[in-house]
């Protein structure tokens, strides 16, 4: 497991956030990915002006969200169906719905206001989770809660430009289905994702270092 980030500097995080805003504009939501941020450092993010955060692990989400309810919390990690009940009380959106077992749990525990994003494996990367594009319509029809958008994690690449086609493909899928939110782009490729229509970028390293 990677070492947790400690010793964050609020001014540096604020400056990094401002730099991202200068690059992509104010209309795209910047979500701070906090999987590797120690719980005791969350207050530094608040001080720096971070308002939206995403956690990958259900247990850590529960602990951090209880300590900082003033933040908007999303779940952005691989979604185990047995964790759906644990996650839902704390989040605005789950970004990573991608299995029928998760849909079953959303049907049991999701309420009228529950909203999610569906993860799509647009690149057909065997190492990634996600619904295949040709299976998306059927998956959306089976989803018992409101789907507000799509998410993807393209294959790792050294060049951000190599991810453009996957972001464009996701944007096309969302546009054809009238879905407004596009969660795509991380620290290494968020600028390209923004150019292709991202409404949310999920940033870690570029905010903290």
Q: What's the CATH code of the domain at 178?
A: 3.20.20.10
173, 122 Cβ separation under 8 angstroms: yes
Is 101 domain-assigned? yes
The per-residue pLDDT for 132 is 98
**pLDDT digit string, tens, across residues 74-101:** 999 999 999 999 999 999 999 999 999 9
The boundaries of the domain holding residue 19 are 10-204
**Burial level of 189, CB count in 10 A (0-12/13-18/19+)?**
buried
109, 118 Cβ separation under 8 angstroms: no
Read off the DSSP letter of residue 3.
P
| Residue among 101, 100, 89, 98 at smallest CA distance from 65 | 89
Return the residue matching tokens 């691989």.
Answer: 78
pLDDT of 111 strictly over 80: yes
Is 5 domain-assigned? no
Is 144 domain-assigned? yes
170, 182 Cβ separation under 8 angstroms: yes
Return the residue matching tokens 């050294």.
Answer: 158
φ/ψ region of 79 (left if φ > 0, alpha if ψ in -120 to 50, else beta) reads beta
Is 2 domain-assigned? no
Is 209 domain-assigned? no
Global pTM exceeds 0.75 = yes
Is 1 domain-assigned? no
The per-residue pLDDT for 1 is 56
Is 167 domain-assigned? yes
When divided into structural domains, the chain yields a total of 1
Is 146 domain-assigned? yes
**pLDDT digit string, tens, across residues 147-202:** 999 999 999 999 999 999 999 999 999 999 999 999 999 999 999 999 999 999 99
């Amino acid at each position: 497991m990677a070492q947790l980030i400690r010793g964050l500097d609020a001014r540096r995080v604020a400056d990094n956030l401002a730099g991202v805003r200068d690059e992509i504009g104010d209309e795209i939501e910047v979500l701070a990915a906090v999987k590797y941020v120690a719980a005791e450092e969350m207050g530094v993010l608040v001080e720096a002006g971070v308002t939206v955060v995403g956690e990958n692990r259900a247990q850590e989400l529960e602990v951090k969200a209880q300590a900082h309810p003033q933040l908007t919390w999303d779940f952005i990690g691989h979604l185990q169906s047995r964790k759906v009940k644990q996650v839902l009380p704390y989040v605005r959106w789950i970004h990573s719905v991608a299995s029928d077992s998760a849909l079953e749990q959303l049907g049991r525990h999701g309420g009228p206001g529950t909203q999610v994003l569906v993860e799509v494996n647009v690149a057909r990367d065997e190492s990634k989770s996600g619904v295949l594009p040709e299976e998306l319509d059927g998956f959306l029809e089976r989803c018992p809660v409101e789907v507000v958008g799509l998410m993807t994690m393209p294959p790792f690449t050294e060049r951000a430009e190599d991810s453009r086609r996957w972001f464009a493909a996701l944007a096309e899928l969302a546009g054809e289905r009238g879905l407004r939110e596009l969660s795509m782009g991380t620290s290494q490729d968020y600028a390209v994702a923004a150019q292709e229509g991202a409404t949310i970028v999920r940033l870690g390293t570029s905010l903290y270092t």
